[in-house]
Structure 1
């Protein structure tokens, strides 16, 4: 295990958390997941490693049956801390009626609430070296070449966010990551979520992807930017019981012409490198540019979270090995690339609530889709 700013739930505590907090039969009331982090007391981080137990809302112990009370510590002695995360759902733009002739935009959700979110809040933009105050931006318009951070979506959905432009592992490479300069990428892709580019497993390979997304006025074929190439299938309940889920990414690719999209993150520039998940730590500052909330910053709360995510009509999916941050997103931001302040790619945003945002580790996205976002490893 790493120090108090990073690491994973010990195996014994993880197994106990799965069996006690997310038990298949009669699960604990309000519990939606758990992860590794630090314990908080009186609104302050103590630095003491803890198993964070995620609940939709905190309820006084006196109002809970004994079976639903989270123990003060795990059987191996690891302390616990209960964290209210609200109702976590996939964050593509929700279906709403558009006013004819206008681009529709969803108002930003409430800022992170509670003592943990307040204490982990990032500094103001003007206090951050190398960044300037960002005013409201219109990221729902059509643009070619399209920067990352703009509205995009399969013709079957509303709208999400174009995360980045990636390319196949270079042919002939013998290292991971491949050595720079070996071979020529066979294809270029836009990267976003499965539920943005593939409609939660339901879209066919080769189906059109438009920019901006349909909710923002994009229509096929005149606004087509890509076609669906491949995606990682998401397991949903009730079709598959939650305890059997093995979801680690919500990710998909659309084949794009080189000249139609760019690796530049709107306002922030291109990712200069990517980071292995072992080096992503609790407390790290992160940022993203997304279709709805534009440029936002936050801090990492957990780096190996297991959490249940609501996908509406598609069902509920349990994800493991996820990054949780303070709230940096709203509906329509799904697919945003999450980076460090110096543009090192860390994760792919896909879900959240008014309190937290949930992201896939970029290393998992990269390995499962077999694509490269940058030749540099940081």
Structure 2
């Protein structure tokens, strides 16, 4: 919706009248969509239904008006089918390169002939453990399947370092408690506590279930150590630089655990709708942004935004969707709930005199005299990453080295070679140092 449009919301009395009609599940202000033209640039009162039915099948009292007057302006009423809207944690769905929403498939370049190619391909997925982890990869509370690590590191009003995701991803739809672990990858993708703990739950929005609920946000902050999350967003060129409001009709981008990088237009704002949270029931939300379908189960927690040469500007926090549309919470609302959230740069994450991040990335074992290769990444090409392999069993002697590099839109991947130089089995840890 461009800045010249004066009408930004549907008055409460109009909403109540619309919701009295059979099949109506939500409404907002957006752009009219027609069968012949698709999404137009004409402003309309968008009325959402689970399934469109012929007017002849409705009682006369349930027929919607063709236009509605708001603030002296006559707007068309556009009925749009939205299907069943659900909270989008992973539900019996694994990421697939065949997903029609995915726009990037990972294809390895030529590799060392001794490398395990299948392992290399699998290592590029968003469902693997990454330290530091970029935004757009699998996370979740131990009681949840999996969702998405939404943001690069953010600084809260109290000086905490956090990342953003959904309540239903990191706080189990309100059943968790502050201090609970959050895993990367999520449990559905093999994550376990404490080995895969990436942070702890700091705070989360309230979700009220049932017909009397009037929810504004499904959001959570996860407190992290500086070396656990990187400033990059998986497969996007720019880091988060700030926040702004979505504009109806404009294209936006997200990077998520299940469908990767997808783009779609914002089709309506100030949308009220009920969202199905499975066994928890229906929660009614108000003031949402609606987008063309750009998500699936497991993408919850992604930050939707716009890419510019100077950076990525987030507009909305994705949390729900259907086979027809994606729904998200405006970042202005998220910050009303949690306070101001300031995107951090790499220099914010460590002391100025020591611009390095170090950590543990993997553990394993080698048989006597065995050599193994493993891929790690992605890291932004602006970083320089060193790897060391440390034996953890007595008498172990393991030599580690970077054998080769692979680069794609997500960043740089390192193939680390681990050689057991002794005639006995040995366990090891792989550690890294990222130089900014």
Work out whether residues 37 and 50 of structure 1, in 8 Å CA contact, stay in contact via their aligned partners in 2.
Answer: yes
C-alpha separation between the residues in 1 aligned to 2:7 and 2:221? 30
Contact 1:151–1:211 at 8 Å: present in 2 too?
Answer: yes
In structure 1, distance between residues paired with 2:97 and 2:277: 20
Partner residue of 1:330 out of 296, 301, 323:
296
Of residues 126, 139, 155, the one that matches 2:126 is 139
8 Å contact 2:170–2:201 — kept in the other structure? yes
Contact 2:10/2:28 (CA < 8 Å) preserved in 1?
no
Q: Relative contact order (alpha carbons < 8 A, sep ≥ 6): 1 or 2 greater?
A: 1
Note the C-alpha offset of 1:107.
4.8
Pick closer, same or farther for the CA change 1:190–1:53 going to 2, 3 Å. Answer: same
Shift of 1:106: 4.6
Report the Cα distance in structure 2 between the residues aligned to 1:345 and 1:162, rounded to whole angstroms: 14
Whole-Å Cα distance in 2 between the matches of residues 79 and 48 of structure 1?
Answer: 9
TM-score by length of 1: 0.79
RMSD: 2.5
Corresponding position of 2:32: 39
Could you say which residue in structure 2 is the equivalent of 1:215? 188
Find the counterpart in structure 2 of residue 165 from structure 1. Answer: 152
Aligned to 2:143: 156
In the TM superposition, what whole-angstrom CA distance separates every residue of 1:311-338 from its partner, at most 9, and x where no partner exists?
0111111111111101110000000111
Offset at 1:50?
Answer: 0.9
Maintained 8 Å contact 1:7/1:303: no
2:9 paired residue number = 9
Cα gap change, 1:333 to 1:5, in 2 (>3 Å): farther
Q: Please point out which of 87, 96, 105 is paired with 2:94.
A: 105
In structure 1, the gaps of 5 or more residues are 97-103, 113-123, 126-132, 172-185
Q: TM-score, normalised by structure 2?
A: 0.69
Distance 2:78 2:139 in 1: 38
- Where does residue 335 of structure 2 map in the other structure? 366
Describe how 1:207-356 pairs up with structure 2 within 5 A: 207-237=180-210, 241-242=211-212, 245-277=213-245, 280-342=246-308, 343-356=312-325
| Number of residue pairs the alignment of both structures matches | 322
Return the structure number with greater strand share: 2
Q: Which runs of 5+ in 2 are unaligned?
A: 108-123, 346-436
Q: 1:169 to 1:213 in 2, by over 3 A?
A: closer
Helix, strand or coil: the match of 1:346?
A: strand
Classify the secondary structure of the residue corresponding to 1:54.
strand
